[in-house]
Amino acid sequence: MPSFKIYRGVAGLYDYGPPGCAVKSNVLAFWRQHFVLEEGMLEVDCPCVTPDVVLKASGHVDKFTDLMVKDEKTGTCYRADHLLKDFCKEKLEKDLTLSSEKAAELKHVVAVLDDLSPEELGAKLKEYGITAPDTKNALSDPYPFNLMFQTSIGPSGLLPGYMRPETAQGIFVNFKDLYYYNGNRLPFAAAQIGQAFRNEISPRQGLLRVREFTLAEIEHFVDPEDKSHPKFADVAELEFLMFPREEQLSGQSAKKIVLGEAVSKGTVNNETLGYFIGRVYLFLTHLGIDKEKLRFRQHLPNEMAHYAADCWDAEIECSYGWIECVGIADRSAYDLKAHSEKSGVALVAQEKFSEPREVEVSFFPNIWSLLLGEVEFNVCTLGKTVSIKKNMVSISLEKKKEHQRVFTPSVIEPSFGIGRIIYCLYEHCFYTRPSKAGEEQLNVFQFPPLVAPVKCTVFPLIKSKEFDDVAKEIAKSLRAAGISHIIDITGTSIGKRYARTDEIGVPFAVTVDSTTNVTIRERDSKNQIRVNTNEVASVVKEVIDGQSTWADIMWKYPAHHTAPTANEE
């Protein structure tokens, strides 16, 4: 629900109500189990308030911007690229008189939108006569607006700070301690779950583009010369929708590819990147994301940061189209190098050789090596410019024994937008149960037990102290087992109570119709079994913890058959 609703809300800020909040905490608990525990990752927890210097080093202070235009009369702000994109799309969809050349031009503009400079974007807005959408007033030229929430740390006003736009920087600045904590060994991964903030110019797409959101990020540090992964075999056989660069550029669509082949053919840059793609696939489908509406799309060259080696987004299809929910990027050594340089603290790893190795060392200043491609170059010194020709320079090479190699690790970063994943999960888990003619249609959220906000409801069949007491006993045993539950003693018909519990996605409903035996009904199959009252908690727990499936349970316990009555159907 929109945050601060009684004050008419704030665009881009949303609250999770009780069911959403429970789903979120289940998703995060499973994330910890599936990634942190399974891989022995080092989880850290860093503050959101971040001093200027850190985000200056990472490039966010200078480059984390969107191009903005202002309504020249009212001052209302818009994202320049959104206005241009909306204009082109509307023309393409609705203008029947459009020439094929014009159509091609507009399509091209949409394709290169992210590459346009402020000047180019401004020129296009002028050329197409685009005005403010609400007032039709003229627009300012586009200018960059930094998307970070700015603040000031401490009372002096002299220490500028920002609310972090991602959690990753907290890990990078701690690299040295984390590497030490891991026994100075590579590879290792650090992880962090936390809030991130982006002061969007004009938030839209509801829950998908918001100003504050929960990120779960992994930074897996590897030797750039060895990006193999010991557990890659565990995911190599997986086959799912992938959308490599070539297919996008040649106008094809995503297709099913076996992950092992994508890596061996070089479509995916390396095994570690491939391993995480596979693990992300398993994570999302376990949560309840539809396999057919999940694809891994490779970034096109113009989408990737210049330093990135390769990047794949897990995109999920929902009513807004294909939405980026997880980004899996090989960021090379960029971040560690940037912080090393700015802070003066070396963020590096060492590989100790078992035997010293002989290496050729050039005693030649780095900066000169870089310039050697040139035939001739100029050096400014003491106010004079001296021209140096290639033949004036000699390189001396010597052989030397080295006992270790010191290098900046590469980092592979799977970054999860938790809110987006949850939004898509709600869409994928929703269905309408077919109903008989004339009856109300029933909405169901078929959350897997792992994710369901409430695991179990307890209904006394009729209002009676005896049944209420049994229901309370069962609730007590569920509590002791850590199973979230609701008792519904409203006494309305069981059918209505089932409908209500299906609607929030509760997988199991216990109906108390005797003091010794009760029925457990599963939400999706509507099958019922009979169990002893004191077995309820352990049966439900077995399925929730994934030790048994409902089908296993159906084998073990007697089925409960009721003639379909007006109540249930």
Give the closest residue to 221 by CA, choosing from 472, 493, 22, 410.
Answer: 410
Establish if 32 lies at the interface with its own copies (CB under 8 A).
yes
Establish if 211 lies at the interface with its own copies (CB under 8 A).
yes
Span 73-112, contacts to its own copies by CB under 8 A: 75-77
Residue from 81, 212, 271, 313 in contact with its own copies (CB under 8 A) = 212
Closer CB to its own copies, 49 or 112, in the complex: 49
Both structure tokens of 528: 């019922």
Closer CB to its own copies, 13 or 442, in the complex: 13
The total of other beta-carbon atoms located within 10 Å of residue 497's CB is 20
Host H or E run for residue 356: strand 349-362
Residue from 97, 127, 155, 185 in contact with its own copies (CB under 8 A) = 155
Answer for the pair 222, 186: CB distance below 8 angstroms, yes or no.
yes
Query: What's the closest the beta carbon of residue 377 comes to its own copies, in angstroms?
Result: 34
| Ranges assigned E (strand) in 390-436 | 397-407, 410-417, 430-433
Residue 320 Cα to chain centre, angstroms: 16
User: In this chain, which stretch among 119-127, 245-253, 270-278, 343-351 interacts with its own copies, using CB under 8 A?
Assistant: 343-351
Which residue stretches of 207-266 are H helix? 233-236, 245-249, 259-264
The total of other beta-carbon atoms located within 10 Å of residue 546's CB is 11
Closer CB to its own copies, 294 or 471, in the complex: 471
Residue 259 to residues 6, 23, 188, 522, 527, Cα–Cα distance (Å): 49, 30, 22, 35, 37
Binding mask 167-196 for its own copies (x = CB under 8 A): ---x--xx-xxx--x------------xx-
Answer for the pair 322, 295: CB distance below 8 angstroms, yes or no.
yes
Both structure tokens of 415: 């970054």
Task: Return the SS3 of 130.
Answer: coil
Residue from 256, 389, 403, 479 in contact with its own copies (CB under 8 A) = 479
Query: What's the closest the beta carbon of residue 381 comes to its own copies, in angstroms?
Result: 33
Query: What's the closest the beta carbon of residue 118 comes to its own copies, in angstroms?
Result: 15
Closer CB to its own copies, 71 or 330, in the complex: 71
Closer CB to its own copies, 20 or 417, in the complex: 20
Residue 73 Cα to chain centre, angstroms: 39
Establish if 199 lies at the interface with its own copies (CB under 8 A).
yes
Establish if 201 lies at the interface with its own copies (CB under 8 A).
yes
Answer for the pair 422, 516: CB distance below 8 angstroms, yes or no.
no
Give the closest residue to 470 by CA, choosing from 478, 460, 462.
Answer: 460
Answer for the pair 458, 488: CB distance below 8 angstroms, yes or no.
yes
State the number of binding residues for its own copies (CB under 8 A).
Answer: 77
Query: What's the closest the beta carbon of residue 455 comes to its own copies, in angstroms?
Result: 11
Q: How far apart are CA 445 and CA 500, in angstroms?
A: 11
Span 108-137, contacts to its own copies by CB under 8 A: none
Query: What's the closest the beta carbon of residue 342 comes to its own copies, in angstroms?
Result: 8
Establish if 280 lies at the interface with its own copies (CB under 8 A).
no
Establish if 7 lies at the interface with its own copies (CB under 8 A).
yes
Answer for the pair 508, 523: CB distance below 8 angstroms, yes or no.
yes
Q: How far apart are CA 3 and CA 213, in angstroms?
A: 13
Closer CB to its own copies, 61 or 311, in the complex: 61
* Count of residues making up the chain: 569
Residue from 27, 31, 35, 54 in contact with its own copies (CB under 8 A) = 54
Span 213-272, contacts to its own copies by CB under 8 A: none
Establish if 11 lies at the interface with its own copies (CB under 8 A).
yes
Query: What's the closest the beta carbon of residue 237 comes to its own copies, in angstroms?
Result: 19
Answer for the pair 560, 509: CB distance below 8 angstroms, yes or no.
no
Closer CB to its own copies, 129 or 183, in the complex: 183
Query: What's the closest the beta carbon of residue 364 comes to its own copies, in angstroms?
Result: 30
Closer CB to its own copies, 198 or 295, in the complex: 198
User: In this chain, which stretch among 20-28, 134-142, 320-328, 426-434 interacts with its own copies, using CB under 8 A?
Assistant: 20-28
Closer CB to its own copies, 319 or 354, in the complex: 354
